[in-house]
Amino acid sequence: NAGVTQTPKFQVLKTGQSMTLQCAQDMNHEYMSWYRQDPGMGLRLIHYSVGAGITDQGEVPNGYNVSRSTTEDFPLRLLSAAPSQTSVYFCASSYSFPREQFFGPGTRLTVL
Amino acid sequence: KNQVEQSPQSLIILEGKNCTLQCNYTVSPFSNLRWYKQDTGRGPVSLTIMTFSENTKSNGRYTATLDADTKQSSLHITASQLSDSASYICVVSGGGANSKLTFGKGITLSVRP
């Protein structure tokens, strides 16, 4: 099993650009989520999904969209990047909530 | 308000020594408490997960304790190794209508030779 994979590993964007962070898992987990991690702060939940076709907002959803068309994939879209979205983004999955979560390796995003 | 407070913020110890990391929480009702290890530049990896009825759980040289009455947990690392240098994150899952994860800010541990 590859576990949770994320691409790209690093990305630099200009303000106003859009992009999609990819997340995939091969463990047949129903629950997937996106977090951002900023210095001096704990991980903050952006969006989550309890299964294919079902998504919901987390703590900091503004400026981000998600979709869940398959069990395996959970992409995160930045609609119009802003410097405040400079962060490290982690995708995580679990069999269900609140079971143990498995995290991906992260995407380091810089918005200039 | 759900909160998870970890202490100390950072810690430096010598290789081979033991250390204890603290986690206090105000999450209620409570479902479970997890400790994660996050190496620099990597995603968090689960060390232990404890429910209300569990007081102690071990994973190799890592031993977590939970006191649900005082809402405190600790992570004890025995005979530290250089590879233990990382950030340790305490995460509490609420129960019932409070079903969400609350993350601590993490404790940065540096193990020096």
Element (H, E) at B17: none
Q: How far is A41 from chain B (nearest CA, A)?
A: 5
Residue B87 near residue B16 (C-beta atoms within 8 A) = no
pLDDT at B28: 87
Contact: A98, B101; criterion CB under 8 Å: yes
**Cβ–Cβ gap B104/A100 under 8 Å:** no
From B89, B48, B79, B44, select the one nearest B65 (Cα to Cα): B48
What residues of chain A lie within 8 A of the CB of B52, using their CB?
none
Average pLDDT over residues B31-55: 94
B78 three-state secondary structure: coil
pLDDT higher than 80, residue A2: yes
If we measure between CA atoms, which residue out of B110, B113, B94, B83 comes closest to residue B21?
Answer: B110
CB contact under 8 A, A105 and B43: yes
Nearest CA in chain B to A90: B43
Cα A92 to Cα A5, A54, A98, distances in angstroms: 9, 16, 12
Residue B90 — very low, low, confident or very high, per pLDDT cuts 50/70/90?
A: very high
| Tens digit of each residue's pLDDT (9 = 90 or more) over A36-87 | 999 888 899 999 999 999 999 999 999 999 999 999 999 999 999 999 999 9
